[in-house]
Amino acid sequence: MTELKNDRFLRALLKEPVDVTPVWMMRQAGRYLPEYRASRAKAGDFMGLCTNPERACEVTLQPLERYPLDAAILFSDILTIPDAMGLGLYFETGEGPKFRKPVRTAADINALKVINPEQDLPYVTGAVRTIRRELNGRVPLIGFSGSPWTLATYMIEGGSSRDFRQAKQMLYNQPEQMHQLLDILADSVIAYLNAQILAGAQAVQIFDTWGGALSHQAYQEFSLRYMKKIVQGLLRENEGRRVPVILFTKGGGQWLELMADTGAEALGLDWTTDIGLARQRVGQRVALQGNMDPTILYASPSRIREEVGNILKSYGQGSGHVFNLGHGITPEVDPEHAGAFIRAVHDLSAEFHR
C-alpha cells in the first residue's frame, strides 16, 4: 500500500484538520483541456476512452499534470451500468447519450439483472487499478456512480430529457415497477462502487444529477431512499482507512438534512445553496463539497479569485469543506481560468485553517 503524499481531501471529508481547503473539479478531465481533446481524437470517440484502462488513466491524470489538485476522479461515465445491462449505449454528436433498448414495460424490467462489475465492467475496475498504480500516492482517487433515479431516467427515456415524461409517468402510474427497477439499480450500484473501492478508489461519489427534478415526496421515496440503501451497503473501510461517501443531488439544497441522515460523510452542493447556511443546517454531521457556479470560470481571474474568497468566507473557519464547482466544468472554459480558480482556493484558504 503506497502512502498518500497529499491526503487533505480525505481528511476534509472526515472533518479532520487540514492546512488549506482541498479542491478538485467535477469533470476535471474533460473537453476544456486541449490534451484531453487530443487523447479523445486518438481513441476515436468518448467510449473508446472509457473502455480502455490505459487511455482512461491517461486522461484522468492530465489535469493533475497541469494543476495542484487534491484528488483525481476516475474517468468514466455514469451510464456504464445500464450499458452493462445490455441496453445499447451510444452517443449522438450534439445530442448526448442514447439507448437502443429503453426500459418501458414490466417485461423490460424483469429482463434486467444486477451487474457483476468484474465480469460486466472489467474496463472500469481495470482503469481504477491502473490509475492507482500511476498516481503512486500523489493524491487520493475518487470512484463514482450515478444514482438509481438518475440512471433510471436515462434508461426509461432512452437518453436525455427535459421533462422526464416517460420516467415520471412510470413513477406515478406504476410505482411498483419503478421501485423494482430502482432496487435492481441500487444493488448494481452497491456492487459497482464496492468493486471500485476494492480496486483502489479511496472515496466515492454518487451523482444524483436529476434528483432535483422530483417533488418533495417523490424525491424521498424514489431517489433518497435508494441512495441511503447504497450508503448502507458500501464498504466503509479499505487499506486501513475510512472510505468516505459523497452524495450530490443537483438542485437538492432543500433536502440537506434528509441527505445527512443517510450516513454519508459529505454532501455536494450546487451553486444555488449558500454554503454558510448549509453548514448551519447540517452542523457537524457531514462535510460539505462545493459550490462555485461553473460559469464564473468565464470571468476574469481576479473575479474568479473574489468569488472563491466569498465562498470560503461563507463557509468560515475550520475543516469539513472540499472546494469544488457546483456542477461540472464546461468545455469552453479557458484552462488558465481553471488554474486561477485552483490557485485561489489554496492561496486564500490557509487563514481559515489556523
Q: Which of 31, 138, 242, 343 is catalytic?
A: 31
CA contacts within 13 A on the Cβ side of 220: 9
CATH class of 32-293: alpha beta
90 catalytically annotated: no
What is the predicted pLDDT for the residue at 91? 83
77 catalytically annotated: yes
**202 SS3 class:** coil
**28 SS3 class:** coil
What is the predicted pLDDT for the residue at 153? 98
67 catalytically annotated: no
- How far apart CA 59 and CA 49 sit, in angstroms, is 8
- State the binding site: 27-31, 77, 154, 209, 327
Find where cell 472509457 sits: 50
What is the predicted pLDDT for the residue at 173? 98
What is the predicted pLDDT for the residue at 95? 72
In 10 A of CB 240, how many CB atoms?
6
Q: Which of 7, 77, 83, 187 is catalytic?
A: 77
Q: In what order do the strands lie in the sheet with 141-146?
A: 72-73, 141-146, 203-208, 245-249, 266-268, 287-292, 321-325
Domains of the chain, residue spans: 32-293
- How far apart CA 243 and CA 291 sit, in angstroms, is 22
40 catalytically annotated: yes
What is the predicted pLDDT for the residue at 1? 61
What is the predicted pLDDT for the residue at 45? 87
Q: Which of 36, 154, 219, 315 is catalytic?
A: 154
What is the full per-residue pLDDT of the chain (354 aa) written as tens digits? 678 999 999 999 999 999 999 999 999 999 999 999 999 999 988 888 999 999 999 999 999 999 999 999 999 999 999 999 999 998 877 778 999 999 999 999 999 999 999 999 999 999 999 999 999 999 999 999 999 999 999 999 999 888 999 999 999 999 999 999 999 999 999 999 999 999 999 999 999 999 999 999 999 999 999 999 999 999 999 999 999 999 999 999 999 999 999 999 999 999 999 999 999 999 999 999 999 999 999 999 999 999 999 999 999 999 999 999 999 999 999 999 999 999 999 999 999 999
- Which class for 172: exposed (0-12), middle (13-18), buried (19 or more C-beta within 10 A)? exposed
Q: Which of 8, 11, 40, 132 is catalytic?
A: 40
- Which class for 92: exposed (0-12), middle (13-18), buried (19 or more C-beta within 10 A)? exposed
154 catalytically annotated: yes
Q: Are 28 and 36 in contact (CB under 8 A)?
A: no
- State the binding site for substrate: 27-31, 77, 154, 209, 327
Amino acid letter, 59 = V
